[in-house]
Structure 1
Amino acid sequence: MKKLYLNTGGINTIFNDLKDSLNGTLTLENNQYNLSVNSKNANGVISGISLNKQISYFQFNIFFNQDIELSIESFVNSPILFTYCFQGSLTHSFGINGERKKIKSNQTGIIRNTSNINSVLHFEGYKHVEFSIICVNTHNAEMSENSRLFVDINKVFNNKSGHYAYAGQQNSKIADKIKEFHTVPQKGIVKNLLKNRILESVLEVELDQHTYGYAKDIKPIAIRANKQIEELKRVSNLNLLEVFSGVGQVSRSYLSKVIKEKYHLAFSKLYNQKLVS
């Protein structure tokens, strides 16, 4: 049994903690972190990207060489972890000795911990596990560009005890959206806009089905999200420099403003993050 500890700071801190704990090699390219691990602890790849102040995304495709306990630091503004398992399984508990919820293949786990007891993810050794986590920060949600979504998420996925944990069947529409997230062909600012909108559409589906229940038809939400995503893809095929050539030099902030006003897509500034060794 190996015990690992993870501070829930920025994405840079998280990946450097994982790099040190698993003895991996960390690279950063186009705001995406890639941790390659080939050590006595594990073999595989962990990747991640922070799209704005509210949403970060992590993908684990890894084989642990022994049982692992990953203790995640908790605090009053801890993010909500929307976890999607595609192969293998992982188990969550509040504290080492807390009640355990297993998240199996094709299941979803939603975890929020604002107590003073750490969340713990348990992994079985000698088994491959593949899962994704959408990490949602709801602190100052009302100040975010898509404030309605994050304010509602903050209300629904909450518990007075500070412990919120759910495990259940994975929604097939969400699984399709995550596959789409990994195959976005566009580059640069448009790629990140598309990825951000895809993850927001996933969160909208989660919010809807946990607010109204699975019996409610979520088709209208999926259709609305798809229309926005397809429109953004269409725009990405245009030569944007030609479109805006009449207004002089095109800045990233001006372009994002135009896209937001014309296509009603929320967009936060993309910050270039430096890798701290």
Structure 2
Amino acid sequence: MITIEITAESTEGTVRQIQEVIGGQISERWGEYTLTVNNAKATGNIRFITFDWGVGLLEYDITFHDEVILIMDASEFNPIHFTYCLEGFCKHRFGYQPEKEIKVLEQFQSVIISSREGVIIMAIFQKK
């Protein structure tokens, strides 16, 4: 299992913290950035765009070769995540507590995720 703690307050910072753990190269073209990974930890791309008006787009087209848990501390800000699962599935939970229910986001399902102040957000990607 790979655990990545995200402390960044920007989309670019988030992807750079993921890159520090799983590796890969970030390239830029016309304001669109792509983290490309092809190693023992993952294969694929994470694409991101940050708009001037404070919105960021983050697209995961990546296969993880081990379970990956992204832990996002949103205690200083409260982002709203519009999430759509195009293929496969992923999991989500608020907080570290194992008794908290893990929600599964199925293929073609969309959700809006937001949390209360001081709550940790966990995204769980299964290995393939």
Conserved? CA contact 1:66–1:125, under 8 Å? yes
Q: Which amino acid is the alignment partner of residue 21 of structure 1?
A: V
Moved over 3 A (4+): none
Three-state SS of the structure 2 residue aligned to 1:82 is strand
Aligned to 2:13, the other structure's residue is in SS state helix
Q: Over the residues paired in the alignment, what is the CA RMSD in angstroms?
A: 1.4
Structure 1: state its 5+ residue gaps: 127-277
Provide the residue aligned with 2:121 in structure 1. 119
Q: How many residues align?
A: 126
For the residue of structure 1 that corresponds to 2:86, the secondary structure is strand
Larger relative helix fraction: 1
Give the 3-state SS of the residue equivalent to 1:114 in structure 2: coil
The DSSP-based 3-state class of the residue aligned with 1:92 is strand
Normalised to the residue count of structure 1, the TM-score between the two structures is: 0.43
3-12 vs 40-49, greater mean Cα deviation: 3-12
- Structure 1 residue aligned with 2:52: 52
TM-score normalised by length of structure 2 = 0.90
Note if contact 1:77-1:114 (Cα within 8 Å) is conserved in structure 2.
Answer: no
Alignment pair present for 1:88 and 2:81: no
Identical residues among aligned pairs (%): 23
Give the residue type in structure 2 aligned to 1:29.
R
Instruction: Give how far 1:53 is off.
Output: 2.5
The whole-number CA distance in structure 2 between the counterparts of 1:19 and 1:80 is 22
Equivalent position of 1:9 in the other structure? 9
8 Å CA contact retained: 1:70, 1:120:
yes
Greater Cα radius of gyration, structure 1 or 2: 1
Q: How does 1:141-220 map to 2 (within 5 A)?
A: none
Instruction: Say whether the 8 Å CA contact 2:12–2:50 is kept in structure 1.
Output: no
Match of 1:107 in 2: 109
- Does 2-11 or 103-112 show the bigger shift? 2-11
- Say which structure is richer in strand: 2
Give, as a single letter, the amino acid of the residue that structure 2 aligns with 1:72.
Answer: M
Distance in 2 (CA, whole Å) between partners of 1:25 and 1:48 is: 13
Gaps of 5+ in 2: none
